[in-house]
């Protein structure tokens, strides 16, 4: 029940060179959009081996298992990347399976860099007036293993007038330094869609209110930025960043921030590129097995209705393939998604007449012929 593995064709004593990808559709619309992403991966011709896992609400409700005892170790040992859909199901009131699978994967596999590209493929998708694709081309790097998501804190005298609730924001020197350093390295090594170099790293915080955590982020950012004199280091409070993001997204290049602020501002940023259904992300630890997931959730209200936009999952698959070295296949997929948008071969949320399956099939067919 843990997985359904494809037959591997490998001669005894030879080295396995095919990239292995674990596929976990999860819950809700994840079970609809991930199969479309898989279809596109196969159509691209990328030499990968895909293995399906049934981790999610259905599995949890059947046997109360969220992740097998060696699940995360197995993923890190046996796979080069993980493609994940979404987690969340109204039948599981505590959402324990979502927490243990998704956050467990991020924390226990130490996937400390959440990479969320914000790219406007076509002007028709952006709600801002006069904005062109070249104006929205930045990336948000979110610390992925600390902050309030560690669930540190507690409740005292619950249910009484004297109830006290605390939620702790955990920031370690190691965690802060490595995500900030990753941001400068990312800026140095990646270009924009038009091929021009990235030049600016902006650190976002709320250090005027969160003085203790903010002091650590500020000091580390100043130290690490000094190692990259060729790049421009900037700072902005999170509330100001949100305002400027919708006023003039052209000013942003690489943004680095903590776990909670990264979660919030990337949902806002997704609105600039056509909504959550268009947004891709990767959860990275350089040199180790990394996980890729569309930004959207499980969307129970539209699950099973063939309405979900599969492009976020398909673009996530392209991001994963590029990470694995399949640059040309990834570029073909992204170009085909752009063609689908321009030809209105899309789901209703971005102006097209198609369902999830039909939009995915259109992209897969075009990719296979390109």
Instruction: Report pLDDT digits (tens) over 203-213.
Output: 999 999 999 99
The secondary structure of 257-319 as a DSSP string is E-HHHHHHHHHHHHHHTTSGGG---EEE-TTS-EEE--SS---TTTTTTT-S--HHHHHHHHH
Report whether 21 contacts 5 (CB < 8 A): no
Question: How far apart are the C-alpha atoms of 204 and 236, rounded to whole Å?
Answer: 5
DSSP state of 151: -
The CB-side HSE value for 56 (13 A sphere, CA atoms) comes to: 22
CA–CA separation, 52 and 210 (whole Å) = 43
Please check whether residue 25 is in contact with residue 56, taking contact to mean a CB–CB distance below 8 angstroms: yes
15 pLDDT above the threshold of 60: no
Over residues 101-112, the mean pLDDT reads 95
More confident residue, 17 or 201: 201
Q: Which pLDDT belongs to residue 17?
A: 67
What percent of the chain clears pLDDT 90, i.e. is strictly above it? 94
Domains of the chain: 1-6+16-114+287-370 (3.40.718.10)
Contact 101, 266 (CB under 8 A): no
Spatial distance between the Cα atoms of 199 and 136, rounded to a whole number of angstroms: 15
Residues taking part in catalysis: 149, 206, 239, 263, 267
E strand or H helix that includes residue 27: none
In 3D, which of 340, 239, 323 has the Cα closest to residue 280?
323
Across the range 361-368, mean pLDDT stands at 98
Give the CA count within 13 Å in the CB-facing half-sphere of 159. Answer: 0
Tens digits of residue pLDDT in 16-46: 468 999 999 999 999 999 999 999 999 999 9
Sheet with 137-143: list strands edge to edge.
Answer: 3-4, 48-53, 19-26, 81-86, 290-292, 282-284, 113-119, 137-143, 254-257, 200-205, 232-237
Phi-psi region at 161: left, alpha or beta (left = phi > 0; alpha = psi -120 to 50) = alpha
DSSP per residue over 53-121, as a string? E--SHHHHHHHS-SS-TTHHHHHHHH-SEEEEEE---TTSTT-HHHIIIIIHHHHHTT--EEEEEEE-S
């Amino acid at each position: 029940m843990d997985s359904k593995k494809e037959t591997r064709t490998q001669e005894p004593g030879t080295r396995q060179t095919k990239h292995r990808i674990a596929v976990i559709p999860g819950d809700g619309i994840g079970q609809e959009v991930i199969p479309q992403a898989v279809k596109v991966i196969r159509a691209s011709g990328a030499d990968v081996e895909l293995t399906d896992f049934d981790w999610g609400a259905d599995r949890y409700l059947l046997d109360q298992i969220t992740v097998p005892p060696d699940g995360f170790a197995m993923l890190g040992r046996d796979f080069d990347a993980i493609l994940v859909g979404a987690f969340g199901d109204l039948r599981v009131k505590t959402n324990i399976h979502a927490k243990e699978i998704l956050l467990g994967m991020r924390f226990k596999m130490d996937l400390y860099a959440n990479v969320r590209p914000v790219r406007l493929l076509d002007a028709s998708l952006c709600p801002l007036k006069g904005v062109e694709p070249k104006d929205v081309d930045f990336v948000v790097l979110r610390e992925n293993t600390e902050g309030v998501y560690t669930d540190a804190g507690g409740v005292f005298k619950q249910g009484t007038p004297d109830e006290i609730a605390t939620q702790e924001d955990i920031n370690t020197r190691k965690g802060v330094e490595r995500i900030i350093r990753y941001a400068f390295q990312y800026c140095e090594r990646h270009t924009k869609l038009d091929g021009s170099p990235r030049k600016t790293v902006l650190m976002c915080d709320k250090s005027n209110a969160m003085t203790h955590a903010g002091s650590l982020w500020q000091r580390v950012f100043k130290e690490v930025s000094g190692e990259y004199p060729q790049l421009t280091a900037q700072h902005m409070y999170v509330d100001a960043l949100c305002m400027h993001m919708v006023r003039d997204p052209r000013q942003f290049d690489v943004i680095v921030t903590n776990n909670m602020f990264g979660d919030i501002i990337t949902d806002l940023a997704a609105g600039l590129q056509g909504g959550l259904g268009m947004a891709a992300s990767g959860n990275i630890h350089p040199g180790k097995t990394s996980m890729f997931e569309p930004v959207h959730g499980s969307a129970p209200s539209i699950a099973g209705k063939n309405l979900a936009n599969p492009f976020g999952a398909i673009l996530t698959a392209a991001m994963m393939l590029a990470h694995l070295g399949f640059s040309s296949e990834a570029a073909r997929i992204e170009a085909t998604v752009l063609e689908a948008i321009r030809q209105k071969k899309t789901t209703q949320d971005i102006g097209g007449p198609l369902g999830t399956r039909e939009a995915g099939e259109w992209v897969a067919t075009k990719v296979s012929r390109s």
